[in-house]
Amino acid sequence: MENKKQLEEFIKEFAPSSQLDTALCYAETKVRFSARQKDVAELLDISDRTLRSYCSTYKAEFEARIAELEAEIEPEIDINNHNRILSEQDLDKFIQSLIKSATGANSDSRSRQQFIDFFQITAQDVMQLSTAKTSALRWWLRGNIVGIKKYMNSKELGISLQQSPYLYHADKESIGASEKFVNASLEDEAFKKHCMLMGLTFMSLYNNVEHPELKLMQTVQKLDYLEADIKPEVNKKELKAYSNGQDIVKDYKVKKATTNTPKIEAMLAEMDELTSTFSKVKASEYKDVQGKVLQLVKPPVLPEVEQVEEKANEHFNEIQVLLTAEDTVRAWMNETTRKNNK
């Protein structure tokens, strides 16, 4: 019964959107859960015959994925062998299992308590996360991808955000990004160029319209990573959600505005004070500060649009981000077409 629930949860999360994805989904469930074709077809709301047809059509990809998964599965540890050494992989598997049992749909109070005890979670930790979810931009973005997709290329947005070494996404892949951002210097040409990309990204989000040169800057960033031999570590699960235009945080709710006259009046008074203070700044002092800023922050040198397009064509395969097997097959077909047209 528990295995069936896990299977349902996995298929729901996998959410295959094409025939190839459906065949690969069955490959995953076949290896991970020893699932029968009939059961998987039923959960996918298709006939057994249709699923078999998909697997036959994409036989090479289906069998390749099964081979990959079987190679990943390690033999179970022999607990009767007293001479065995606990490896880092063994420990990692234990921790991942603990996290999954406590945070999964079928978690119980005992598994959650083990999780709390093991990681020494406090009420303050929970409150900090709750505050972050209602105030941090990263959580808002993760809960509004469906709306953003209406005016921006959500896949390219996800790639820009995920590949940035200066953005923390509250996952293990981006740990240390905040510190890297704080320590970055405006004298660094690469960082200034990255700021231009993020500036265009933010302004496009703020104005609900994508800037026409945002795609150019996204390509420039990809080429910069390629030429510097940088391979950003990304959370592919979240990137796939961006690509499909799906909200990651399903239960995200915007807090309803509440009328609180004293707080609003205090805020307005503080703004008046700041405005008054700013108006007292002498023009000469402002020019002096402006001169120092211009001296420090010189505009980054950007390549010509034609150069960017030429390089992008030259490194077409390297700068692509392939999230699914279907993307990979399509890339192969495009490359074949490109070669034939030369």
Both structure tokens of 122: 């406090």
The confidence score (pLDDT) of residue 271 equals 57
Q: What is the mean pLDDT of residues 68-73?
A: 73
Q: Answer whether residue 66 shows pLDDT above 80.
A: yes
| Most trustworthy range by pLDDT among 106-110, 313-317, 323-327, 331-335 | 106-110
- The string of pLDDT tens digits covering residues 117-159 is 777 777 676 666 666 666 678 888 988 999 999 999 999 999 9
201 has pLDDT over 70: yes
Q: What is the DSSP string of 125-158?
A: HHHHHHHHHHH-HHHHHHT-HHHHTTTS-HHHHH
Q: pLDDT: is 287 or 42 the higher one? A: 42
d(CA 145, CA 241): 8
Residue 169 has pLDDT above 70, yes or no: yes
The tokens for 42 are 């039923």
The backbone torsions φ and ψ at residue 90, rounded to the nearest 5 degrees and listed phi first, read: -60, -45
Q: Closest Cα partner for 18 from 249, 236, 240?
A: 240
- Burial of residue 194, with CB atoms counted within 10 A of its CB: 0-12 exposed, 13-18 middle, 19 or more buried: buried
In tens, the pLDDT along 148-159 reads: 999 999 999 999
Indicate if the pLDDT at residue 193 is higher than 60. Answer: yes
How many Å apart are CA 278 and CA 272, to the nearest integer? 10
* Between 236 and 2, the higher pLDDT residue: 236
pTM of the predicted protein model: 0.47
List, for residues 240-257, the tens digit of each pLDDT value. Answer: 889 888 898 765 444 444
Contact 139, 171 (CB under 8 A): no
**What tokens were used for 114?**
């083990």
Mean pLDDT comparison of 12-26, 253-267, 299-313, highest-scoring range = 12-26
